[in-house]
C-alpha cells in the first residue's frame, strides 16, 4: 500500500484493528466484569479479604471467612496487639478508597483500631504507634499517626458500631467514619502502598471487616459526589466564554459533515436569549472544514445505510483520486465493508464470490492479513453477530468507514498541506489533550486519583 499518501487510510485501519482486539479480548474474557479498553489501563487489584499469611497470628485469630478477627487471650503489654492487614494495598487510581469494620464485641477493654499501614509494619503494634502508619482507636477516640501519643480526633467506639476508614486521593487525606458519619480527617503525608488495617488487643474482642462485598453503612457514593462537586467549584471560578461550547459543537458538526443538524443548530442559536455571535472569534478555519460538506454528508448517509456500491459510484465521479489506487487502505476499507454488507443481508454466496475476486489482491499484503481474516471469519458462523467477529456487523464498523471517507475528502482540499490535519475534529483534539493532561497530572501525583475519562462521564 502506498505509504506516503495513505496516512489517513492507515489511521482508520488502526482504529479497526483496535476494535478487533477489543472484541477478541471481550470474547475470551472469563470474568463477568467487562470493561472497555480504556478502563483496562485503569485496572488495579484491590483488597478483598484479610491477609492471614502476614498477620501476627500469635495474638489474634482470623476466622475462616477471612473477614473476621478475634483476640482470644488476655493481653499483657503493648507489643502483643493482634494486627491484620488486608490482602492487597489500597488501589490508587480512583477518587476515594474506603472500607469498614463492624465491632461485634468490644471485649474487655475495647482496644480496637482501624487504619492504614505500610507493608513493612511491625505486626504486634497498633496502627499509628509506628512510623508510616495511621490508626483511629476505639478506646480513646484518638488518631495515632506514627507516635505513641495520639491526637484528639473523634468519638470512641464500641460494640455495635460500624467504623470506616478511607483515603481521599483528591484531597490527599485520610478520613474516618462512625456509623455513617465522617468523624474527622487527617492529612496523608505518606507515600507508597498502604494496607487497610484492623487491630484487636483485649480479650474477646471481635471485629468483622467489609471490603465492599456488602453495602457500606456510610454513603460512599454521596461522599464521592461531594468531592467531585468541590473540584467543580474551583473550575467555577474560571470564566469560560459562552461561545466556546457553541463554536466547538459547530465545528464538530461541520467536520463530520452533519449538514442537516448544522442547519437546525444555526437557526436555533440565532434565536437564543441572549443571541450568540458565532464565527467572529475563530474566523480562520471555518472555510476549511465546510469544504465539500454536502458531498461528505451524502457519502456518510450511503455508507451508514450499507449502500457501498452507490458510495463507490459517487466517489468515482466526485473524487476519483481517492479510489484510484485499488490497493489503498481506503479501497480496502470500502471493499471489506461491501463484503460485510453482503453477509449482513444473508447473500453468502455472492459474498464468497466477491471475496474471492476482491480479497485476492489484499491477501498478498501482509499488513492487513488479520483484518481480512476477521472478515472471512464472518462466513464461518450461523449467527455471526454472536461471534468474536460480530463487531464487524455493528454500526461502529460502518462509522469507521464513513469517517475514513470523510477525512479523505477533507484532505482533497487544495488548501490543505498536511493530511494529518484532517484526522481529528477540534473536539477530539481537545478531549485527547484533556485526557493526556489528566494522566500526566496524575502521574506527577504518584499516580493517585481519578483520571479524566469521557466514557465515565457519560
Partner 1 sequence: MSLLWFVLGQLAEIESMGSSKKIITKEEWEKKLNDVKIRKEDMNKLVMNFLVTEGYVDAAEKFRKESGTEPDIDLATITDRMAVKKAVQCGNVEDAIEKVNDLNPEILDTNPQLFFHLQQQRLIELIRNGKVAEALEFAQEELAPRGEENDILQQSFLEELERTVSLLAFEDVNNCPVAELLDISQRLKTASEVNAAILTSQSHEKEILLRMLVDTYYIVCRYALEVQHILECSLMMTGKQIPSSQVC
Q: For residue 77, state whether it binds partner 1 (rule: CB under 8 A).
A: no
Query: How far, CA to CA in Å, does 77 sit from each of 58, 59, 84, 183?
Result: 14, 12, 18, 29
Q: Minimum distance between the CB of residue 15 and partner 1, rounded to whole angstroms?
A: 9
Q: Is 57 among the residues that bind partner 1 (CB under 8 A)? A: no
Which grid coordinates belong to 31?
A: 470474568
Q: Considering beta carbons, is residue 55 or 251 the nearer one to partner 1?
A: 251
For every residue of 60-115, DSSP letters joined together read -EE-TTSSEEEE-S---STT--EEEEBSSPPP-SSSEEEEEEEEEE-TTT---EEE
CA-only gyration radius of the chain, Å: 30
**Is residue 440 within the footprint of partner 1 (CB under 8 A)?**
yes
Question: Per DSSP, which regions of 113-237 are E strands?
Answer: 113-117, 133-137, 142-144, 151-152, 162-168, 173-178, 181-187, 195-200, 205-210
Q: Is 324 in the site for partner 1 (CB under 8 A)?
A: no
Sole binder of partner 1 in the list 106, 253, 315, 333 (CB under 8 A): 253
Give the one residue of 241, 280, 366, 383 binding partner 1; rule: CB under 8 A: 241
Cis peptide before 422 (omega within 30 of 0): no
Residue 168 φ/ψ region, left for φ over 0, alpha for ψ in the -120 to 50 degree band, beta for the rest? beta
| Grid cell at residue 309 | 456500491
Residue 304 in the binding site for partner 1 (CB under 8 A): yes
**What is the spatial distance between Cα 453 and Cα 431, in angstroms, rounded to a whole number?**
9
φ/ψ bin of 445: left (φ > 0), alpha (ψ from -120 to 50), beta (otherwise): alpha
Which has the closest alpha carbon to 351: 383, 377, 387, 325? 377
- Provide the H-helix boundaries in 125-283: 220-236, 242-256, 259-270
- Work out whether 345 is an interface residue with partner 1 (CB under 8 A): no
Q: Which of 48, 119, 264, 326 binds partner 1 (CB under 8 A)?
A: 264
Nearer Cβ to partner 1 (102/252) = 252
The answer to the question of residue 63 lying near partner 1 (CB under 8 A) is no
CB nearer to partner 1: pick between 20 and 68: 20
393: three-class secondary structure by DSSP: helix
Of 86-94, 169-177, 212-220, 251-259, which part binds partner 1 (CB under 8 A)? 251-259
Contact mark string toward partner 1, 364..403, x via CB under 8 A: -------------------------------xx--x---x
Please give the Cα distance from 377 to 400 (Å, whole number).
19
Nearest CA-CA partner of 453 in 171, 93, 51, 8: 93
Q: Does 242 bind partner 1 (CB under 8 A)?
A: yes
Owner of C-alpha cell 457514593: 221
Residue numbers 97-156 binding partner 1 by CB under 8 A = none
Please check whether residue 143 is in contact with residue 184, taking contact to mean a CB–CB distance below 8 angstroms.
yes
> Is residue 349 a contact residue for partner 1 (CB under 8 A)?
no
Cβ 397 to partner 1 shortest distance, Å: 11
Nearer to partner 1, 231 or 324 (CB): 231
Q: Is position 350 an interface residue for partner 1 (rule: CB under 8 A)?
A: no
* Of the residues 125, 137, 297, 338, which one makes contact with partner 1 according to CB under 8 A: 297
- Pick the closer one to partner 1 by CB: 304 or 327: 304
Any contact of residue 228 with partner 1 (CB under 8 A)?
A: yes
**Smallest distance from partner 1 to CB 432, Å:** 5
- Please report whether residue 428 would count as binding partner 1 according to CB under 8 A: yes
To partner 1, the closest distance from the beta carbon of 112 in angstroms equals 34
Of residues 229 and 356, the one with the C-beta less far from partner 1: 229
- Residue 248 makes contact with partner 1 by CB under 8 A: yes
Q: Other CB atoms closer than 10 Å to residue 240's CB: what's the count?
A: 8
Contact between 301 and partner 1 by CB under 8 A: the answer reads yes
CA 205, CA 222: separation in Å to the nearest integer? 32
Please report how close the Cβ of residue 32 comes to partner 1 at its closest, in angstroms: 22
Tell me if 202 contacts partner 1 by CB under 8 A: no
Q: Which is nearer to partner 1, 157 or 169 (CB)?
A: 169
- 314 belongs to the binding site for partner 1 (CB under 8 A): no
Please answer whether residues 392 and 340 qualify as being in contact, where contact means their C-beta atoms are separated by less than 8 angstroms.
Answer: yes
- 98 C-beta neighbours (distance < 10 Å), count: 22
Decide if residue 35 touches partner 1 (CB under 8 A): no
Contact call for residues 330 and 422 (beta carbons, < 8 A): no
- According to DSSP, the residues that pair with 205 across neighbouring strands are 71
76 or 458, CB closer to partner 1?
Answer: 458
| Coil, helix or strand at residue 137 | strand
Task: Decide: 256 and 406 in contact? Cβ < 8 Å.
Answer: yes
Q: Could you give the CA distance from residue 72 to residue 157 in angstroms, rounded to a whole number?
A: 20
Site size for partner 1, by CB under 8 A?
64
Tell me which H or E stretch contains 181.
Answer: strand 181-187
Indicate the residue among 74 and 268 with the shorter CB distance to partner 1. 268
The site for partner 1 (CB under 8 A) is made up of 18, 37-38, 225, 228-229, 232, 234-242, 244-245, 248-249, 252-253, 256, 258-261, 263-265, 267-269, 273-274, 297, 300-301, 304, 395-396, 399, 403, 425, 427-428, 430-441, 444, 452, 454-455, 457-458
Amino acid at each position: 500500500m502506498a505509504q506516503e499518501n495513505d496516512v489517513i487510510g492507515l489511521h482508520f485501519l488502526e482504529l479497526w484493528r483496535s476494535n478487533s482486539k477489543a472484541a477478541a479480548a471481550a470474547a475470551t474474557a472469563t470474568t463477568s466484569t467487562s470493561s472497555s479498553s480504556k478502563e483496562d489501563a485503569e485496572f488495579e487489584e484491590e483488597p478483598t479479604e484479610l491477609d492471614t499469611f502476614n498477620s501476627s497470628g500469635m495474638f489474634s485469630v482470623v476466622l475462616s471467612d477471612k473477614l473476621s478477627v478475634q483476640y482470644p487471650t488476655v493481653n499483657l503489654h503493648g507489643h502483643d496487639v493482634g494486627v491484620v492487614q488486608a490482602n492487597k494495598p489500597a488501589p490508587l487510581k480512583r477518587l476515594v478508597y474506603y472500607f469498614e469494620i463492624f465491632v461485634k464485641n468490644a471485649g474487655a477493654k475495647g482496644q480496637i483500631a482501624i487504619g492504614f499501614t505500610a507493608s513493612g509494619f511491625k505486626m504486634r503494634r497498633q496502627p499509628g504507634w509506628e512510623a508510616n502508619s495511621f490508626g483511629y482507636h476505639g478506646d480513646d477516640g484518638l488518631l495515632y499517626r506514627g507516635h505513641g501519643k495520639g491526637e484528639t480526633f473523634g468519638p470512641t467506639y464500641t460494640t455495635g458500631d460500624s467504623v470506616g476508614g478511607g483515603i481521599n486521593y483528591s484531597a490527599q487525606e485520610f478520613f474516618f467514619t462512625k456509623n455513617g458519619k465522617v468523624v474527622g480527617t487527617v492529612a496523608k503525608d505518606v507515600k507508597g502502598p498502604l494496607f487497610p488495617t484492623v487491630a484487636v488487643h483485649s480479650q474477646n474482642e471481635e471485629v468483622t471487616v467489609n471490603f465492599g462485598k456488602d453495602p457500606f453503612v456510610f454513603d460512599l457514593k454521596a461522599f464521592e459526589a461531594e468531592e467531585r462537586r468541590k473540584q467543580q467549584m474551583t473550575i467555577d471560578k474560571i470564566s469560560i466564554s459562552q461561545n466556546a461550547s457553541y463554536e466547538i459543537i459547530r465545528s464538530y458538526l461541520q467536520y463530520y459533515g452533519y449538514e442537516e443538524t448544522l442547519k437546525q443548530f444555526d437557526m436555533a442559536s440565532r434565536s437564543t436569549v441572549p443571541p450568540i455571535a458565532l464565527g467572529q472569534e475563530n474566523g480562520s478555519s471555518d472555510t476549511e472544514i465546510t469544504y465539500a460538506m454536502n458531498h461528505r454528508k451524502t457519502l456518510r448517509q450511503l455508507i451508514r445505510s450499507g449502500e457501498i456500491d452507490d458510495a463507490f459510484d459517487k466517489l468515482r465521479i466526485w473524487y476519483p483520486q481517492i479510489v484510484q489506487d485499488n490497493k489503498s487502505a481506503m479501497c480496502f476499507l470500502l471493499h471489506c465493508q461491501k463484503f460485510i454488507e453482503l453477509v449482513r443481508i444473508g447473500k453468502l454466496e455472492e459474498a464468497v464470490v466477491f471475496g474471492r475476486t476482491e480479497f485476492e489482491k489484499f491477501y498478498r499484503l501482509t499488513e492487513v492479513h488479520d483484518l481480512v481474516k476477521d472478515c472471512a471469519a464472518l462466513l464461518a458462523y450461523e449467527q455471526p453477530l454472536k461471534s468474536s467477529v460480530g463487531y464487524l456487523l455493528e454500526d461502529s464498523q460502518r462509522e469507521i468507514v464513513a469517517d475514513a471517507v470523510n477525512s479523505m475528502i477533507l484532505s482533497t482540499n487544495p488548501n490543505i498541506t498536511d493530511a494529518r490535519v484532517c484526522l481529528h475534529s477540534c473536539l477530539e483534539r481537545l478531549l485527547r489533550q484533556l485526557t493526556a493532561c489528566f494522566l500526566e497530572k496524575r502521574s506527577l501525583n504518584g499516580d493517585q486519583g481519578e483520571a479524566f475519562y469521557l466514557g465515565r462521564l457519560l
